[in-house]
Amino acid sequence: MNEMLYYDLKDANGVAPGLAMQVSRELGRRIVAGHYKEDALIEDEGKLSQRFGVSKSVIREGVKLLVSKGLLEVKRGSGTRVRRRASWALLDDDVLAWHLSVDPKPAFLRQLLDMRQMMEPKAAGWAAQHGTDAQHADIEAAQIRMEDESHSIEDFVVADALFHRAILRAANNEILLSMEGVIFSALLSSIRLTNRDPRENASSIPFHRKVLDAIKARDYTLAEKMMNDHLSDTSQRLESALGETEGGVISNGESRTD
């Protein structure tokens, strides 16, 4: 659900992906999940062709897509190898989406939240300062939708993402807006841990309301502070969820490391 929801929030092209893209997505998910380890060779074209039931030319095109995203490298005589994670295009929309199809990785979740804490308070301040009345109305509409959807996790997540997207857009900064995928990935990943009980959704609504009120008041400093407060609460709930089981083992069975 989360991977497709990510594409929906990004207003991705609705045309069904071709065979090469389907192959790249399946291989990409397996790489991100760790089924193919870093520096490991993947199967040759013949075996992949048989596995996916497509021609070798389709496999080559799918591999090229992953090469362009930094996940694979092809060397003549050596085969196709998974590159180290540091070489991946982690802000690529597909790579962010593929992370949503696998168990959440604590370190990656923390890094996504770090990015949100760096970007969103300023975005809220700029939305207060530079946003139009119509853009402020979009933020408020998302807030109202959050309040109406507080008993459904999926609907609440959509409303939450739209709220933050509306703030980014109201900041009227093209470069900042290009980073919205980080926000969506962070929201959709962390919600699987922090809001598993729909009754917990309502606890975050007052934080959003304070951000909205500050933006509507065109108070740059207060909007920045309220967003900082909101993300500090998010950070606390995320850390609690990551460490809630005995021995520092989270619900997907992965050991916690700091």
Q: Would 256 be classed as within a structural domain?
A: no
Most confident of 129-143, 158-172, 185-199: 129-143
Residues 161, 81: one domain?
A: no
The verdict on 77 and 153 lying in the same domain is: no
Q: Domain span at residue 15?
A: 9-87
142/167 Cα distance (integer angstroms): 10
Flag whether 33 is in a domain.
yes
Query: In degrees, to the nearest 5, what angle opens at C-alpha 195 toward C-alphas 193 and 200?
Result: 145
pLDDT of 223 over the 50 cut:
yes
pLDDT tens digits, residue range 39-67?
999 999 999 999 999 999 999 999 999 99
In a domain, 233, yes or no: yes
Q: Is residue 95 part of a domain?
A: no
157 inside domain: yes
Q: Which residues contact 246 (CB under 8 A, 6 or more apart)?
A: none
Task: Indicate the pLDDT class of residue 103, thresholds 50, 70 and 90.
Answer: confident
Per the domain annotation, does 215 fall within a domain?
A: yes
pTM here is 0.82
Taking each continuous run of H as one helix and of E as one strand, the counts in the chain are 12, 2
CATH number of the domain that residue 72 is part of: 1.10.10.10
Stretch 71-98: mean pLDDT:
94
> How many domains in the chain?
2
Q: Does residue 94 lie in a domain region?
A: no
Residues 197 and 150 in one domain: yes
pLDDT for 249 equals: 42
Compute φ and ψ for 195, nearest 5 degrees: -130, 45
Whichever domain contains 156, its CATH number is: 1.20.120.530
What local confidence, expressed as pLDDT, does residue 253 receive? 38
Interval 1-46: pLDDT, tens:
578 888 888 876 545 679 999 999 999 999 999 999 999 999 999 9
236-258: average pLDDT? 55
Q: What's the confidence (pLDDT) of residue 251?
A: 40
Report the pLDDT averaged over residues 92-111.
Answer: 89
Specify the pLDDT at position 96. 93
Q: What is the mean pLDDT of the chain?
A: 87
Residues 79 and 126 in one domain: no
